[in-house]
Amino acid sequence: MALEDAKNEVDGAFTRKDLRGLAFENAFVGATSFLRRRYTKDLAGVDLAITGVPFDQAVTHRPGTRFGPRAIREASALQPFDPPYGWPTSPLEDMAIVDYGDVAFDYAHTPSFPGLLTAHIAGILKAGVGTITLGGDHFITLPILRAYAEKYGPMSVIHFDAHSDLWADDDMDRIDHGTFFYKAVKSGIIDPKTSVQIGIRTHCDDYLGVEYIDARTVHEKGVAHTVARAKEIVGQNPTYVTFDIDCLDPSAAPGTGTPVWGGLQTWQAAACLRDLAGINMVGGDVVEVSPAYDTSGATAIAGAHVAHELICLYHWAHHRK
């Protein structure tokens, strides 16, 4: 850490001039933008936008993920001092990254939310900027994918989760975080043959042609097997990576709405994400962080690390020098 900078930097979310570079503001002070990036709606010259979606009206059990984006931003204050461990590159120094803030929506008019979110993401993509989204429950991935499919066509998806989210539900207006993948496949915005789910450990009647690598397989066959198969499946197709924090075991991430035992440990998730370098990753999200159920803050810390790794994957695909 640059100690002289640490003495003088504060509120970089508003005061920093350069969109690139590490940040040395003390982790316990200041405005908590993600990784101390500048808060701005100006996308001129921007490579990647971080945006929050504080929505949790689609949950089947414990609510609270509306507070996820704020908690993840706060937890990320521990990370912008150095290049990310395990990567040979430094995305914060090489890319112009901003915190675009949260999507605005009427909390009391849930039916209007999906369209608002799709328009929010589509506006960023239209500017030639990629997105990493902080959720929010997992329903948010469906309207986000609609925006991506408008630009790229049917998406390949790498989906980290305890649940397949393939509950059959043909009512496309119904909002439920357990059905987003089903509706995305049925709507044609996901290509099931080039998509994969990792960490699954709950029952699913029909995977609709999507290959899954369950948590036991990850544990028994290892990260190398998991990543090699995932890369084989998605190839070089435009790929969206969505990470439900309940993919992690509850011992590592208790702050989530529908925890399931037997999940990935954080080292396995970190290794999977790092070894996915080389996929054509065009966007991603981390969802289902519900901080009220974890007084230690470990779940939000894990969420912040996942989002940082997604930035690294995006950088590797598009801006690596």
Q: Amino acid identity of 161?
A: D
Determine if residue 249 is labeled as part of a ligand binding site: no
Determine if residue 319 is labeled as part of a ligand binding site: no
Beta strands in 57-165 (DSSP E): 97-102, 130-135, 156-160
CB atoms inside a 10 Å sphere around CB 136? 29
β-bridge partners, 156: 239
Determine if residue 165 is labeled as part of a ligand binding site: yes
Q: Amino acid identity of 255?
A: G
Distance CA 164, CA 50 (A): 25
Determine if residue 205 is labeled as part of a ligand binding site: no
Determine if residue 56 is labeled as part of a ligand binding site: no
Distance CA 130, CA 117 (A): 15
DSSP 49-72: EEEEE---TT-SS---GGGHHHHH
Q: What are phi and psi of 138, to 5 degrees?
A: -75, -10
β-bridge partners, 286: 134, 243
Determine if residue 318 is labeled as part of a ligand binding site: no
**Tokens matching residue 92:** 């914060």
Q: Amino acid identity of 155?
A: M
Distance CA 27, CA 4 (A): 15
**Tokens matching residue 289:** 């962080």
β-bridge partners, 214: 200
Q: Which residues are annotated as a binding site for Mn(2+)?
A: 138, 161, 163, 165, 244, 246
Q: Which residues are annotated as a binding site?
A: 138, 161, 163, 165, 244, 246
